[in-house]
Amino acid sequence: MEIERKWVLDSPPAGLEQHRSQRFEQGYLAVDPAGAEVRVRRKDGATAVMTVKVGAGLVRGEEEWEIANFDALWPLTEGRRVLKTRYFVPLGDLTVELDVYAGDLDGLVTAEVEFPDEASARAFVAPAWLGRDVTEDKRYGNRVLAVEGIPS
């Protein structure tokens, strides 16, 4: 299970480049309106994984495994892709995964924080720099962004 909250920022925070980062190429092979998705992702042009997620919102089911055939699957994701750089920003005992999008989603900045359980996720008080909480706003899920673009 994945337990995370998500925010939209007006812009990247100062000093972001000082944090560890990874470049993601992410494409969706299958997207179900009820919340299920199958995606492939390559990190920094090297490690590739396939992920299956079910559900939406705060708690989702997730399975992920490494794959060797990313290049064969990538063309099947045409029209359903996300390009972004993820920065890993420490926040106390937690890590903010801050995504700066490129390509069709250029200008969008989101942040996610994963939690060990629902209680800690609900109790978390976000610092103001994280912006607006969109955890329950399906329009900001990467699979929806990949298909529909930045919400207006």
Supply the pLDDT for residue 80.
96
Q: Assess whether pLDDT exceeds 80 at residue 56.
A: no
pLDDT digits (tens, 9 = 90+) for 21-36: 999 999 999 998 888 9
Question: Which of 16-20, 31-35, 57-61 has the highest average model confidence (pLDDT)?
Answer: 16-20
When pLDDT is cut at 50, 70 and 90, the band that residue 48 belongs to is: very high
Question: CA torsion angle for 35, 21, 1, 50 (degrees, to 10)?
Answer: 60
- Is 28 labeled as catalytic in the residue annotation? yes
Q: In percent, how much of the chain has pLDDT > 90?
A: 88
Domain formed by 2-141, architecture? Beta Barrel (2.40)
| Tokens representing residue 69 in the block | 């055939």
pLDDT digits (tens, 9 = 90+) for 72-118: 999 999 999 999 999 999 999 999 999 999 999 999 999 999 999 99
- Supply φ then ψ for residue 116, to 5 degrees: -75, -25
Supply the pLDDT for residue 58.
80
Domain ranges of the chain: 2-141
Contact 136, 117 (CB under 8 A): no
Q: What is the rounded average pLDDT of the residues 41-46?
A: 95
Supply the pLDDT for residue 1.
83
